[in-house]
Chain A
Amino acid sequence: AQSVTQPDIHITVSEGASLELRCNYSYGATPYLFWYVQSPGQGLQLLLKYFSGDTLVQGIKGFEAEFKRSQSSFNLRKPSVHWSDAAEYFCAVFLGNNDMRFGAGTRLTVKP
């Protein structure tokens, strides 16, 4: 089955520390991959996306993600986390034909 897995339900990091959020997908072809962030009570904001080309993509707010075909992964990273980064993060895969699949989300807590 085609799916998106975010293994970590909740991650806590200290402010200023580095961050990596994991995302694995199961899909037969090269997918279109996305990372979204959701603040409490808000909609989703697009952080970055990957379609093809350079496997390291840069996004907004200092985030980047690396597509690794061999590992079927698209992990999100940030070198230094800020308190305002505390939110829910969703990985998503666009399968075509208006079919967008979301992972279960990873909640990020930032310690002062």
Chain B
Amino acid sequence: GAVVSQHPSRVICKSGTSVKIECRSLDFQATTMFWYRQFPKQSLMLMATSNEGSKATYEQGVEKDKFLINHASLTLSTLTVTSAHPEDSSFYICSARVVHLNYGYTFGSGTRLTVV
């Protein structure tokens, strides 16, 4: 149990376009989801925390107008990279805290975004 499904796994887009990444909790309700960005050979950097039905909380230095987060239901959170640029190319991972894992987080499989 406690599976988070993340799509797409890979996406290539042109500069200036927008890309939406979805994360769904398949067998539990995720009131809170977290979005991370991971640069090659580096750790995860928390971008924002999304709460169902309310505005996301962004970490310092993360542009909320560029990285739009929507958490409209208890099973779906989306991250939209708007007006993408090559420097936005990265690996994006979502996660949710699962109560029955006692504060453990379950992670999506990640999305490799390449902006050309």
Q: Which residues of A does B touch, CB under 8 Å?
A: 32, 34, 36, 41-46, 49, 51, 90, 94, 98, 100, 102-105, 107
| Closest partner residue, chain A, to B41 (CB atom) | A107
- Closest chain-A Cβ to B50's Cβ sits at a distance in Å of 11
- Closest chain-A Cβ to B52's Cβ sits at a distance in Å of 13
Taking the complex as formed, is B104 at the interface, i.e. its CB lies under 8 A from any CB of chain A?
yes
Q: What number of B residues sit within 8 Å (CB to CB) of A?
A: 26
Give Cα distance in the complex from A94 to B102, angstroms.
10
- Closest chain-A Cβ to B79's Cβ sits at a distance in Å of 14
User: Which of B41, B104, B110, B112 contacts A49, CB < 8 Å?
Assistant: B104
Which chain B residues lie closer than 8 Å to A98 at the CB level? 32, 34, 49, 97
| Closest partner residue, chain B, to A96 (CB atom) | B103
Cβ-defined contact, A42 with B42, below 8 A:
no
Taking the complex as formed, is B6 at the interface, i.e. its CB lies under 8 A from any CB of chain A?
yes
User: Which of A46, A102, A107 contacts B44, CB < 8 Å?
Assistant: A102
